[in-house]
Amino acid sequence: MSAPVLDPVAALNVSRETTEKLHRFVALLEKWNPAINLVSRSTLSDAWTRHILDSAQLYALAPATAQRWLDLGSGGGFPGIVNAILAAELRPTSTHTLVEVDQRKSTFLRQAIQDLGLNATVLTSRIEQLPPQGAEVITARALAPLRLLCSLAHPHLAPNCACLFQKGARYAAEIAEAQISWRLDYDLHPSLTDPEAVILKLKALDHV
């Protein structure tokens, strides 16, 4: 696995405008976090590596033509808001749907979208209750074991959809467990922020 990147801002390789939006998002996170607990307080001092770069690394793995993004369990906006910020520069016609069941976190996400002028919407709902979304990219970070993630994502797949799931040190065991119920066509990509973690890119997903 790769070692963590030492300069997360330089690693993003985006414009000054996009970098400024990311800074504004971190400032919003710091402002709201004491009241809502969007992320662990211990990670705020290292937010650029632990949250921004950790989320942004997904963007390059998405299909180049993908327009409809779906982020499951968005929480504090990772990776959904970060990817929407990158898309404002790199793929401005794409749309981003963030799903978050917690009303207070949804309010934060909507405020961030408004303040940053993003082409994104928030659905305050349990994932299981969503109508099919027809997404071309589905993302999730620290949401659920892979076997459950497959069940949550499957109803929302568009043809040739790519699922980008961030997984920790137990990823191999999670894949083995998921393969009991699911046929998976996937690639593994080393995380830029955690030497024990990977990004699992599912290129095809179907029931066994």
Q: Which residues are annotated as a binding site?
A: 73, 78, 127-128, 141
Distance between CA atoms of 36 and 108, rounded to whole angstroms? 9
Which residue from 112, 97, 95 is spatially nearest to 22, judged by alpha carbons? Answer: 112
Q: Are 185 and 202 in contact (CB under 8 A)?
A: yes
What lies within 8 Å, CB to CB, of 126 at 6+ separation is 101
How far apart, in Å, are the Cα atoms of 3 and each of 7, 33, 56, 100, 187?
12, 29, 16, 31, 19
| 62 residue type, one letter | A
Binding-site residues for S-adenosyl-L-methionine, in ranges, read 73, 78, 127-128, 141
**Burial of residue 111 (number of CB atoms within 10 Å: 0-12, 13-18, 19+):** middle
Strand-pair partners of 137: 69, 162
How far apart, in Å, are the Cα atoms of 194 and each of 50, 61, 72, 158, 188?
9, 17, 21, 30, 14
| 50 residue type, one letter | R
